[in-house]
Chains A and B, each alone.
Chain A
Amino acid sequence: EDKVVQSPLSLVVHEGDTVTLNCSYEVTNFRSLLWYKQEKKAPTFLFMLTSSGIEKKSGRLSSILDKKELSSILNITATQTGDSAIYLCAVEAYGGAQKLVFGQGTRLTINP
């Protein structure tokens, strides 16, 4: 059974700090790992990482995939209160119907 585990489950930091969120996975026939940000409603897409694209960056956010360690990190530098959200990690496998398996999420709170 495919499994995704995120840590920490909750994190509180001050504005301006740098944070690192972790995601580890066990999946047969790994295809991709995706990061989502969820504020009050639907998850919104941040990054997709694959064997051919193991590092992505967008502004203050960046993510790296470590296929050897079966894990990924999401870094946020110079955090702002608007970064407060639940961050979800999900993996997708090859074969059969494509579907996402999610981790529990990390609830990030940025205090001013």
Chain B
Amino acid sequence: NAGVTQTPKFQVLKTGQSMTLQCAQDMNHNSMYWYRQDPGMGLRLIYYSASEGTTDKGEVPNGYNVSRLNKREFSLRLESAAPSQTSVYFCASRDGGTYGYTFGSGTRLTVV
């Protein structure tokens, strides 16, 4: 049982480049989330998807787009990367009936 799988684990981008972070869960969870973590700031919500076909902005959505491709997959896209987007990105999913949030192992992104 893989849980939540994120790819890639590490990435270095040049300013202005684009990329997509992939996330997939195999627990049949309805809700999925993208967080970023910066030193001393905990985790901040970028976007979330309460169910397949819906997406909503979180606390820090600027510079990002998301796609809920199907129930399993939720991707995060940076169209034009900026150094301020250097961070560790976590994907999570949740079972709608309980408290069970499960996190992926993270993607460390550096924008130079």
Contacts and interface: CB of A to CB of B under 8 A. Distances in A.
Q: Place the interface of chain A in its size category.
A: 20 to 34
Contact of A41 (B40, B50, B59, B106): B106
Contact of A97 (B40, B44, B48, B100): B48
Nearest to B33: A99
Interface residues of B, number: 24
Interface in A19-53: 32, 34, 41-45, 48
Given A42-B103, A99-B45, A104 B94 contact: no
Contacts of B96: 98
Contacts of A99: 31, 33, 45, 48, 58
B26 to A, nearest CB: 16
B99 interface: yes
Contact of B43 (A43, A48, A98): A43
A88 B42 contact: yes
Contact of A102 (B43, B56, B94, B100): B43
